[in-house]
A and B are shown apart, each in its own frame.
Chain A
Amino acid sequence: MPTAQESVQAIAARFQGRTSQPVEFRGEWTLSVDLEIIPEVAHFLKDEYHYKYLADICSVDYPDESPRFEIVYEFYHLEAKNHVRIKAKVEEDAEAPTITHVYQGANWHEREIYDMMGIRFKNHPDLRRILMWEGYPYFPLRKEFPLEGKPSELPDVAFSRTAPLEGGPFVTTNAMHSDEREPRSKAPKL
C-alpha cells in the first residue's frame, strides 16, 4: 500500500513535466499539476493507486496572481489511511475539467465551487448554483466581494440587503490601525 509520498512521486513521474515538485507540510503531501491533466490524475489515483475516497474539493482565490484561482483536491486511501492533495491553477475566464465521471461525489463539490467562486466546470452534468439561489448575480467567496454582502434584488425569488456590520460580526484583519482592523469602531457611513 502506497504512502502519500510514494503516491505523489508516482504522479510526478507519470506526468513528467506537467507537475511541480511534491511539497511536504505537517506530514501532508501536496502536488501542483496542470489543469488539463486533473481527470487523468484522478483516474490514475483511483484506478491504479486505489485512492477511492474523494474527501474534499476546495478553491482558493488569489486576485493578484495569474492564473487567479486554485482548485484543491483531497484524495483519501481507505486502506493505506493517508491522503494526498492535488492542486491546479485556473485562469479567471477558463473552464476547469470536471471529475464527476471519476468520482460521483465531486458533483456537489464542483457545484459549490461554481456557486461560490464562479469557476465553471466543463462537461459537468448539472452545473447549477447550490447554496445561493438561481439567478444570484455575484460569486460571494471571491476576495473582492465585501463581507457585508451586496444588495441584490430578484422580486420573484428573493430580496437581500447588505448586512449591518456595525456592532458585529467582530471582524479583525491584519491592518495596522485599530479602526481599520475593526470596522465596528468606525462611525456608520450614512
Chain B
Amino acid sequence: METISLEKKDTAAAFAQAAEDGKLILNMGPSHPSTHGVLRILLEMDGEIVTKADPDLGYLHRGDEKIAENMSYNQFVPYTDRLDYLAPLANNVAYACAVEKLMGWELPPRCKVIRVICCELARISAHLLGVGCFAMDCGAMTVFLYTFTEREKIYNLIEKLTGARFTTSYTRVGGMTRDLPPGFVEETKAFVAQFWEKIDELDNLLSRNRIFVDRTKDVGIITKEDAIDFGLSGPNLRGSGVDHDIRKSNPYLGYENYQFDVPIGSTGDSYDRYFVRLEEMRQSSRILEQALSNIPEGPFFYQDGKSYLPTKDKVLTKMEELIHQFMIVTEGINAPKGEVYFSAENPKGELGFYIKSLGGGVPYRLKIRAPSFVNLSILSKITPGHMMSDVIAILGSLDFVMGECDR
C-alpha cells in the first residue's frame, strides 16, 4: 500500500509530480456529502480510475481518552454518547459493561434484559441510517425517507425511555438511570410488530433494484483473509463471510439466551455488506420480540449499597446510605487494581474498552477501540482500481461514523 504524502510540506511538488505522471490528485472531503461527517480522502486519479487513496482523519478528534483519565467512571458516560452518535444507547451499554467487568459485578436479570432492548433498538436505528444513507449515496433518495420515518419512531421510544433523543446517557456503572417507563414495553412491541413489514418494503425497494445492484455488486470486494487481517468487525467483517459476532462468540448480557441468526455474506462486496445490515435488522427484531415478552421483575441495578448509588428515599432517611451516596458522588466507585478489555458487538462493529486501573474512582488509562477507525484502515487497500463514483458506494457500504473514529 503506497500512500500520498501531501502533508509533508511539499504539497505543490506532489501535485506537480502527479501532473507530470499524467495523474490528478483529488481532495475529497472533509465536508463531502458521502463522507458522512468529516473524513478527508486524498485520491490520486488516473482519468476516472483511482490509483491511490489516503484517508486523513482527526477532524473530529476531541481527546476522549485524555478526558476519561481525568474523571470518575460515571462521569464519562455522557462522552460515550458522542462516540457512535447514531447508536448512543449501545455505546452507553458497552462502556458500563466494561467498567462492570473491571469491578467484577454480575448484573440482575432485569437490568440485562433492559440493556439488550437498548442495544437492539440502537442497532436497528443505526442500520436504518446506514442503509438509508448508503442508498442515497447511490442515488436512491426515497429509501432514505422511508428509513428515517422508522428512525423517528425509535427516537420517540428512546425519548420516552431516557428523556433524550440523541444524547441518552442511560446507563450507569452497575445499572440504568431509571426503570422502564409505563407503557414502554407495549409501545415497543407495537413498533416491532409493524417494523417487519417495513423491512420487507426496504428489501423490495433496494435488493433487486437494477441501479442499486449495478452500483454495488462486485464493488469494493474485501476478501475473507483481508477482512480478518485488517481487524474489520461488525457487518463489514461478516459481509466478507466471516462468521464472527461477539453476541454469539463471547456472549454478554445474556445474549446466549436469545434465538437469533448471524447473517454472513459470500463475496464481500458492497452489496453483501448492505444485505448483512438488512438481515441484521430482522434478527434484532427477533431478539427484541423475545426480550420484550420476557422481562423479569426485580431490581434494575446492581445490589450493593457500597458501590452503587442508593435510592433517594434511603439517602434522605438513613445515615449509612447518605454516607455511601456522598462517597460515590465525590470519589467515584472504588475500582480494584487491574486491567480489562471488554468488547461489545455494536452496530458498527466491535467497540472495545481497555481499562487500566490503579485503584480508586478514576481510570489510569482508558483506550477506546473504535470499530469505524479500524474499518476505515482498509480503504487505501480496496479503493485503487475503482472509479471515482465507486468510492462513494464503498464509503457508504463501510458505514462508518467519524465521532467514533476520531474520538
A60 on the B face (CB < 8 A): yes
Pairwise interchain contact A28-B340, C-beta atoms closer than 8 A: yes
> Whole-angstrom distance between the alpha carbons of A72 and B341 in the complex?
11
Pairwise interchain contact A103-B229, C-beta atoms closer than 8 A: yes
Pairwise interchain contact A53-B231, C-beta atoms closer than 8 A: yes
B308 CB → nearest A CB, Å: 18
> Whole-angstrom distance between the alpha carbons of A28 and B360 in the complex?
21
Pairwise interchain contact A56-B341, C-beta atoms closer than 8 A: yes
> Whole-angstrom distance between the alpha carbons of A39 and B220 in the complex?
30
Cβ 8 A contact of A108, one of B61, B250, B377: B377
A126 on the B face (CB < 8 A): yes
Chain B minimum-CB-distance residue to A182: B330
Pairwise interchain contact A56-B339, C-beta atoms closer than 8 A: no
Cβ 8 A contact of A26, one of B63, B340, B356: B340
Q: List A contacts of B180 (CB < 8 A).
A: none
Pairwise interchain contact A55-B343, C-beta atoms closer than 8 A: yes
Pairwise interchain contact A78-B242, C-beta atoms closer than 8 A: yes
A134 on the B face (CB < 8 A): yes
Q: Which of B1-9, B121-129, B166-174, B387-395 contacts A (4 or more CB under 8 A)?
A: B1-9
> Whole-angstrom distance between the alpha carbons of A61 and B340 in the complex?
17
Pairwise interchain contact B341-A78, C-beta atoms closer than 8 A: no
> Whole-angstrom distance between the alpha carbons of A25 and B365 in the complex?
17
From B58, B75, B340, name the one whose CB has the most chain A CB atoms within 10 angstroms: B58
Cβ 8 A contact of A172, one of B72, B242, B367: B72
Report the interface size class on chain B.
Answer: 35 or more
Given A108-B377, A134-B7, A173-B362: A58 in contact with B354 (beta carbons within 8 A): yes
Pairwise interchain contact B61-A132, C-beta atoms closer than 8 A: yes
Q: 1/0 per residue B59-84: CB within 8 Å of A?
A: 00101011100111001000000000
Pairwise interchain contact B242-A55, C-beta atoms closer than 8 A: no
Chain B minimum-CB-distance residue to A136: B58
Given A78-B244, A172-B332: A141 in contact with B340 (beta carbons within 8 A): no
Given A26-B104, A78-B242, A172-B332: A56 in contact with B354 (beta carbons within 8 A): yes
Chain B minimum-CB-distance residue to A87: B339
Pairwise interchain contact B229-A174, C-beta atoms closer than 8 A: no
A9 on the B face (CB < 8 A): no
Report the interface size class on chain A.
Answer: 35 or more
> Whole-angstrom distance between the alpha carbons of A78 and B111 in the complex?
29
Pairwise interchain contact A125-B1, C-beta atoms closer than 8 A: yes
Given A53-B228, A55-B350, A56-B341: A107 in contact with B66 (beta carbons within 8 A): no
Pairwise interchain contact A130-B65, C-beta atoms closer than 8 A: no
Cβ 8 A contact of A78, one of B3, B228, B338, B356: B228
> Whole-angstrom distance between the alpha carbons of A182 and B226 in the complex?
47
Pairwise interchain contact B231-A26, C-beta atoms closer than 8 A: no
A85 CB → nearest B CB, Å: 7
Given A55-B369, A107-B377, A172-B362: A25 in contact with B340 (beta carbons within 8 A): yes
Q: List A contacts of B231 (CB < 8 A).
A: 53-55, 103, 105
Pairwise interchain contact B230-A105, C-beta atoms closer than 8 A: yes
Q: 1/0 per residue B310-333: CB within 8 Å of A?
A: 000000000000000000001110
Q: List B contacts of A132 (CB < 8 A).
A: 58, 61
> Whole-angstrom distance between the alpha carbons of A134 and B7 in the complex?
6
Cβ 8 A contact of A133, one of B5, B58, B249: B58
> Whole-angstrom distance between the alpha carbons of A81 and B242 in the complex?
13
B406 on the A face (CB < 8 A): yes
Pairwise interchain contact B377-A174, C-beta atoms closer than 8 A: no
> Whole-angstrom distance between the alpha carbons of A128 and B61 in the complex?
16
A147 CB → nearest B CB, Å: 5
A161 CB → nearest B CB, Å: 14
B100 CB → nearest A CB, Å: 10
Q: List B contacts of A74 (CB < 8 A).
A: 341, 352, 354, 369
> Whole-angstrom distance between the alpha carbons of A127 and B357 in the complex?
29
Chain A minimum-CB-distance residue to B60: A131
Given contacts A60-B356, A133-B58, A170-B71, 15 further A-B contacts (CB under 8 A): A55-B352, A58-B365, A58-B367, A61-B365, A74-B354, A78-B244, A103-B229, A104-B229, A105-B232, A109-B374, A126-B1, A128-B7, A131-B61, A172-B71, A172-B75
What are 22 A-B contacts with C-beta separation under 8 Å? Answer: A25-B340, A26-B101, A26-B104, A26-B340, A54-B231, A55-B341, A56-B369, A58-B365, A60-B356, A61-B365, A72-B339, A81-B249, A83-B341, A85-B341, A125-B1, A129-B58, A131-B407, A133-B7, A147-B70, A172-B332, A172-B361, A174-B360
A residues bordering B, Cβ < 8 Å? Answer: 25-26, 28, 30, 52-56, 58, 60-61, 72, 74, 78, 81, 83, 85, 103-105, 107-109, 112, 116, 125-126, 128-134, 140-141, 145, 147, 149, 169-174, 178, 181
